Amino acid sequence: MLALLANSAVDYEVRSAMMVTDVQDQAIAARMALIVGADRFDRLFRAVRFDEVDGDILYVYAQDEDAAAKMEDEFALHISIVAAKVLEREINGVLVLPRQLMKSER
């Protein structure tokens, strides 16, 4: 029983943080484009980066503060559902920040 608990703790730590790959980023963006439509996607999701998952929170970087606020207010639930499918893990929160706050450019 103790070994099982130890393995579960290790599995949780390994799955707690991850960087989103370029392919996963593009897959999430493509699915979001289908949901929001081409015109709105081009305006709002231009230069979006689905970057990192820490625990069950997805960090997203938008082109600026206005786009970040609109994306989080209007599409956080949609993004979490799409990202959960693409990343094959639970996403319970989406934090959208302006791109200027991104740690590193990829």
Task: Please give the residue range of the domain that contains residue 36.
Answer: 2-101
64 in a structural domain: yes
90 in a structural domain: yes
95 in a structural domain: yes
Q: What is the CATH number of the domain that holds 50?
A: 3.30.300.180
68 neighbors 98 (Cβ within 8 angstroms): yes
Per-residue pLDDT of 9-24, as tens digits, reads 444 444 578 999 999 9
Per-residue pLDDT of 93-103, as tens digits, reads 999 999 988 77
Count of domains forming the chain: 1
25 neighbors 35 (Cβ within 8 angstroms): no
pTM score? 0.81
Q: Are strands 93-98 and 57-62 parallel, antiparallel or unpaired?
A: parallel
106 in a structural domain: no
Per-residue pLDDT of 48-89, as tens digits, reads 999 999 999 999 999 999 999 999 999 999 999 999 999 999
21 in a structural domain: yes
44 in a structural domain: yes
94 neighbors 58 (Cβ within 8 angstroms): yes
Measured distance CA(48)–CA(88) in Å, rounded: 20
Beta-ladder partners of 95: 59
Measured distance CA(61)–CA(52) in Å, rounded: 10
53 in a structural domain: yes
